[in-house]
Amino acid sequence: MKLLLSIFLVLFIVSGCSSKKRVVAPIKVLPTWYTSPSMSNAHTLYAVGEGEDKNIAVANALSNMAATLSVSIESDFNTKSVVRDGVIQSVQTDSINQVNSKVKKLRISNYQIINSKEYGFQRYLVSIKSDKRKLFSSLLKEIDEKIDSIQIKYKESEKFNSIKQLNVLKVAKETTATMRNTLLVMNLLNPSFDDRQYLSQLLNIENRYDTLLSKITFSIDANEDARKLMPVIANGLSLEKYNIVKKTNGKNHFQIRLVSSTSRASSYGFDLARSAISITVKDNTKTVIGSNKLNVTGQSTQGYAIAKENIALKLNAQVLETGIENIIGLEL
């Protein structure tokens, strides 16, 4: 009897489980505006993107839109360069790759979200568009504002020494590379756009930097203990393309003074040379414009004289690692 009851109970459980309906998750279909997005045309740029939230999805769509611009520029460059020889062609290709990376960083502020959809957990889809004429106008306004800002900042810097002026021009020169690529995009958006005036202004900024850099000079002197450190400082400045000369009183000349005091010690079989180094930088009016204090320890198993020479090697390593401006305490 117990056996029959057990069999009946098992059959009842099995039949009950089989009677439950199987739950099948519905298949999610990507929207057609995402799988087959609108194609960019003579008047409008289109792009789609996805991300963990709406903001990331829009940012990715904008990146994709910028990428389509870089592809268009590459196509245009290739069309113009097919008749060139192999050497020039390879240089052209390297240039295109650099342009593409810069164009992909282009800031597109004039756009409109035309479709958006939350598609599952942490996945958002969007499609955007940008009117080429409005985008061109926003880029034109942006480049005008950047050039005006550079001119104003440089005018203000003329009240200070030439190092500060050079710092302003250095930042400006780094900005001109981005603006050149913006001009490429603007030419693509509006083929009738004449960029010669802007290119002339950018070239003027770059030339102004190079001209001022060539005029700036440094001289270096030191007390007896720090004399072996002078070539280290001179080499660091040369790496930044500054000219090293003997003393002069020109307005673009700066003087660096090194003072060190070295003491002898030993530890675990090593001879140590502990040097306290003081660095000051003065302009042509004898005003201190930069300074720094360093403690550098040279070491050797071959005597104190070698340990003392090791100080210059240690200082040179610091110059190469952190830059000469951090060593002398002056923004270059």
* pLDDT at residue 88 greater than cutoff 90: no
pLDDT of residue 59: 87
CA pair distance 31, 48, nearest whole angstrom? 11
List, for residues 151-177, the tens digit of each pLDDT value. Answer: 999 999 999 999 999 999 999 999 998
Domains in the chain and their CATH numbers?
A: 32-132 (3.10.28.20), 134-214 (no CATH), 216-328 (3.30.160.150)
Q: Examine the pLDDT at 6 and tell me if it is beyond 60.
A: no
pTM of the model: 0.69
The distance of Cα 44 from the centroid of its chain, to the nearest Å, equals 30
Tokens of 93: 């290709």
> How does pLDDT run across 255-305, given as a tens digit for each residue?
999 999 999 998 888 899 999 999 999 998 899 999 999 999 999 999 989
DSSP three-state, residue 198: helix
DSSP state letters, 156-197: HHTTS-HHHHHHHHHHHHHHHHHHHHHHHHHHHH-TT---HH
Confidence band of 29 (pLDDT split at 50, 70, 90): confident
**Cα angle 193-199-200, degrees, rounded to a multiple of 5:** 120
pLDDT in tens, 199-254: 999 999 999 999 999 999 999 999 999 999 999 999 999 999 999 998 777 889 99
What is d(CA 315, CA 310) in angstroms, rounded to the nearest whole number? 9
How far, in Å, CA of 13 to CA of 294, rounded?
83
Percentage with pLDDT > 70 across the chain: 80
